[in-house]
Amino acid sequence: MEQVQLTIDDKQVEVPQGTTIYKAAKQVGIDIPVLCYMNLEDIGVENKPGGCRVCSVEVEGRKNLAPACATEVFDGMVVKTHTMRVINARRTVVEFILSDHPKDCLTCKKSGNCELQDLAIRLGIREIPGQEYAEMSTYKTDYSPSIVRELDKCIMCRRCEKMCNDFQTVGALYAFNRGFNAAVAPAFEMDLQYSPCTYCGQCVAVCPTGALTEVDHSRDLIDAISDPNTTVIAQTAPAVRAALGEEFGYEPGTLVTGKMVSALRRLGFDYIFDTDFAADLTIVEEGTELLDRLSKYLEGDKEVKLPMLTSCCPAWVRFIEHHFPEMKDVPSSARSPQQMFGSVAKTYFAEQINKKREDVVVVSIMPCLAKKYESQREEFKVEDNPDVDFSVTTRELAHLIKEANFHLKDMEDEDFDRPMGESTGAGVMFGTTGGVIEAATRTAYEMYTGNSLDEHIVFEQLRGFEAIRKATVDFNGTQINIGIAHGLGNARKLLEDIKEGKSEFHAIEIMACPGGCIGGGGQPLHHNDTSILKARQQAIYREDENKPIRKSHENPEIKKLYEEYLGKPMGEKAHHLLHTRYFDLSRKIEIE
């Protein structure tokens, strides 16, 4: 590509034609402030509506200021990023944005983590002229099972819209109205819970302000812990241990498993268990189901649904229920690890400790917002008592730890309790894209071929960060085609193929979030730096490597669970406790 030379603040830069001023400046270490602009490089998502004008710069020979995020460079261009004119314009822009923005920074959930607040601090905004003329919008706060929307705090950057429409192809959120009343919302401003929203939480993950946040269950959690009559059980999802450290100043990709367990114990949980245990259980059930479908297929059964799709991701499940209801019998019927855990904890384990179901509270620590919604689904309740009582995010856990005057760095490494804290390297792989299918492959391979995998436990072809990955695994002469997608837009492509009968796969893993659960909507905010997600992925791989047992079906506590309680995988009891069904949630236009 043709190179062009330009000058930015007296620095010479050479960049390919078509580069924006913002990117060229970044290359020479000039950090032009942005607000609406978002570049998630590793997943190919760029939002540059050029709307907020915070990144305005002066270009020699151009009358008006140019938005650096959306203006392409040209040969000989001379750019100034901090002249008096630029600084005044930038401050005015931010003052305007603040003029109709709520001034509740002290109590706002996003405080300390808000890009608008950071910008106001960076520019030294001390007063907001003109706020008496600004019209505050009067939208009511919308509470869905997972996501809270405070439209007064929407600054119309439209990053959420980008994620919801372009990356996820969900189409729940879109900008509506104009002027002071402009905001982003579902059609007809309906509550999010009635929209096709999947609760993936990617809108929350990119929202620069407090307009989109998670439903906070940390108070309920403290209540439960304080009640002496209840036994409170924690389960921690694989991806949490790879990200929690970031909230306490650790480098992205630092594993804090032992410290996390220690913190949970000191917070007062009665049992600290691991969702990885349930992930191993999921693999045994899902692997058995896959082999069952495969052998039927190989015997010539044309009715059998292949490829089998994974079903651990609740946002993905809701996506298929909303957008592809005709395919709702394609995913595995296995419940997600969170729900398998809850179901086993409130039966098998409750019996072991002689507790009644109502006296046991199961709390899940998740990287995910959709898990909050999933835990409240009717089919996961027994007489109105949910298998998982509360689901809190990695961010909420970090707050709880800080509130309790702990610092993660001061914590000793401790181990999970038994039995439901025992897990394998396969279980922890659930935290990253490709991990569930790699875990399933380890088990399915050994079950199918009868050979041991010990020498080649890692399936490199399933790993990585590309949006859609394809691999073939040799099951002793039977070639098994595996597909992997992260991001619902990528999943949609694979689904369209299945619908048209073009799919060559036997099994497909889908995770809704970029990078899988490590990039979930409940994780510490990446503030547009997707290299953080890659670091978390490497941490998950390291955790797998560190585990003495790396195949789900070899987890001794899982074996015991089947022997003592469940019977056979996919057996009657397992079916009742560990499997589920899916519903048609689509909007249908009917003739009156």
Partner 1 sequence: MSRIKVKLKEQDLNKIQDICKAHGNEPGELINVLQQTQEHFGYLPAEVQEAVANELGLSVAKVYGVVTFYSFFTMIPQGEYPISICTGTACYVRGADNVLQEFKRQLGIEVGETTGDGKFSLNCLRCVGACGLAPVVLVGDKTYGRVAPDGVNDILSEYKDNKE
Report if residue 587 touches partner 1, rule: CB under 8 A.
Answer: yes
Among 50, 102, 171, 464, binds partner 1 (CB under 8 A): 171
Report if residue 139 touches partner 1, rule: CB under 8 A.
Answer: no
Among 49, 51, 186, 337, binds partner 1 (CB under 8 A): 186
**Is 371 noted as a catalytic residue in this protein?**
yes
Whose Cβ is closer to partner 1: residue 195's or residue 433's? 195
Whose Cβ is closer to partner 1: residue 178's or residue 502's? 178
| 525/115 Cα distance (integer angstroms) | 11
* Contact region with partner 1 (CB under 8 A), list: 109-117, 183-191, 438-446, 556-564: 183-191
How distant, in Å, are the alpha carbons of 12, 13, 439 from that of 27? 11, 8, 40
The one-letter amino acid code at 8 reads I
Q: Is the omega angle on the peptide bond into residue 556 within 30 degrees of 0, that is, cis?
A: no
| 81/25 Cα distance (integer angstroms) | 9
| 439/551 Cα distance (integer angstroms) | 7
Closest CA to 473 of 503, 449, 497: 449
Catalytic one among 110, 371, 372, 534?
371
Whose Cβ is closer to partner 1: residue 171's or residue 571's? 171
| 454/456 Cα distance (integer angstroms) | 6
What three-state secondary structure class fits 273?
strand
| 139/150 Cα distance (integer angstroms) | 8
Six-digit token pair at 258? 């032992």
Nearest distance, CB of residue 336 and partner 1, angstroms: 17
Among 177, 449, 461, 481, binds partner 1 (CB under 8 A): 177
**Is 95 noted as a catalytic residue in this protein?**
no
Whose Cβ is closer to partner 1: residue 320's or residue 428's? 320
Nearest distance, CB of residue 196 and partner 1, angstroms: 8
**Is 115 noted as a catalytic residue in this protein?**
no
What three-state secondary structure class fits 501?
coil
Report if residue 412 touches partner 1, rule: CB under 8 A.
Answer: no
Q: What are phi and psi of 382, to 5 degrees?
A: -120, 115
Report if residue 583 touches partner 1, rule: CB under 8 A.
Answer: yes
Nearest distance, CB of residue 203 and partner 1, angstroms: 12
| 412/480 Cα distance (integer angstroms) | 44
**Is 56 noted as a catalytic residue in this protein?**
no
Among 49, 67, 145, 196, binds partner 1 (CB under 8 A): 196
Among 92, 131, 165, 333, binds partner 1 (CB under 8 A): 165
* Contact region with partner 1 (CB under 8 A), list: 34-42, 81-89, 178-186, 268-276: 178-186
Whose Cβ is closer to partner 1: residue 167's or residue 505's? 167
Nearest distance, CB of residue 121 and partner 1, angstroms: 32
**Is 303 noted as a catalytic residue in this protein?**
no
Six-digit token pair at 521? 């909507």
Nearest distance, CB of residue 298 and partner 1, angstroms: 36
Nearest distance, CB of residue 590 and partner 1, angstroms: 5
| 296/488 Cα distance (integer angstroms) | 29
**Is 150 noted as a catalytic residue in this protein?**
no
Residue with tokens 């993936």: 200
Nearest distance, CB of residue 173 and partner 1, angstroms: 6
| 8/21 Cα distance (integer angstroms) | 9
Contact letters (x/-) for partner 1, 372-411, by CB under 8 A? Answer: ------x---------------------------------
Nearest distance, CB of residue 406 and partner 1, angstroms: 40
How distant, in Å, are the alpha carbons of 91, 278, 310, 376, 390 from that of 382? 56, 19, 25, 11, 15
* Bridge partners, residue 110, by sequence: none
Among 123, 187, 447, 468, binds partner 1 (CB under 8 A): 187
| 188/194 Cα distance (integer angstroms) | 11
Taking CB under 8 A as the criterion, which residues in 243-282 touch partner 1?
A: none
Q: Are strands 142-143 and 147-149 parallel, antiparallel or unpaired?
A: antiparallel
| 37/26 Cα distance (integer angstroms) | 14
For 316, the enclosing helix (H) or strand (E) is helix 314-323
For residue 413, the tally of other CB atoms under 10 A from its CB is 11
Whose Cβ is closer to partner 1: residue 185's or residue 444's? 185
**Is 312 noted as a catalytic residue in this protein?**
yes
Report if residue 174 touches partner 1, rule: CB under 8 A.
Answer: yes
Nearest distance, CB of residue 318 and partner 1, angstroms: 11
What three-state secondary structure class fits 523?
coil
Residues noted as catalytic: 286, 289, 312, 332, 371, 374, 379, 517
- Positions touching partner 1 (CB under 8 A) are 165, 170-178, 185-188, 194-196, 378, 583-592
